[in-house]
Amino acid sequence: MLHRHFLIHKPYGYLSQFIGEAKKKKLGEFHNFPEGIMAIGRLDEDSEGLLLLTTDGRVSELIRSKKIEKEYYAQVDGLIDDESLARMRTGVEIGIHNVRYQTSPCTAFRLDPAPAFAPRSRKIRDDRHGPTSWVSITLTEGKFRQVRKMTAAVGFPTLRLVRVRVGAIHLGAMQPGEVVEMNSLEG
């Protein structure tokens, strides 16, 4: 069987799925994907960025493993400080479905200047609400809403979250809703 693989820049407000709740926006609106397509990992409805899709369950398992890094850019409320970044790098305690969990060490640093993403379909907030800053966080684990919970745990709630890299695959200049078919997702 010939497997097919795709990259999509998942826009804000879409679910990382193809079927489900009728009133929700889903990925199938962007492309006529083949039968058996699945998202590798998920981005919640409020998150954006690189999402890998495949018809190959073996590739999906490999990419979801702790062997593959996932990098996120998060716009946070306030001007994040070095101490908070250091706490995230060594791991912070977050709640996952009413269970306390210590995150694994990760890479976290401030992004300056801020990344130049296309404006989001729904405005985040006005400047009158105070300053924001951007951070890069690279994980090898992927707990439920982990990046959002990590930034909140150090006092800087996430306002916008964009996955920019999975392993060696980068979002690059892809625009929201853009779909690219790939020969392979490995390597």
Options 3.40.190.10, 3.30.70.260, 1.10.540.10, 3.30.70.1560; CATH of 70-166:
3.30.70.1560
Domain 5-65+168-182 shares a fold with domain 70-166 = yes
Paired residues of 10 in beta bridges? 49
Q: For 36-58, write each residue's pLDDT tens digit.
A: 999 998 899 999 999 999 999 88
Q: For 5-33, write each residue's pLDDT tens digit.
A: 999 999 999 998 887 777 888 888 888 89
At 148, phi and psi to the nearest 5? Answer: -60, -40
Q: What one-letter code names the amino acid at 71?
A: E
| pTM flag (> 0.85) | yes
Phi-psi region of 116 (alpha: psi -120 to 50; beta: other; left: phi over 0): beta
3-state secondary structure of 153: helix
Q: For 84-128, write each residue's pLDDT tens digit.
A: 999 999 999 998 888 899 999 999 999 999 999 988 877 777 667
Residue 126: active-site member? no
Q: Which entry of 44, 46, 112, 127 is annotated as an active-site residue?
A: 44
Q: Could you state, in order of their start, the residue ranges of all structural domains in the chain?
A: 5-65+168-182, 70-166
Residues 6+ apart with CB under 8 A from 143: 94, 96, 101, 103, 149
* CATH class of the domain whose range is 5-65+168-182: alpha beta
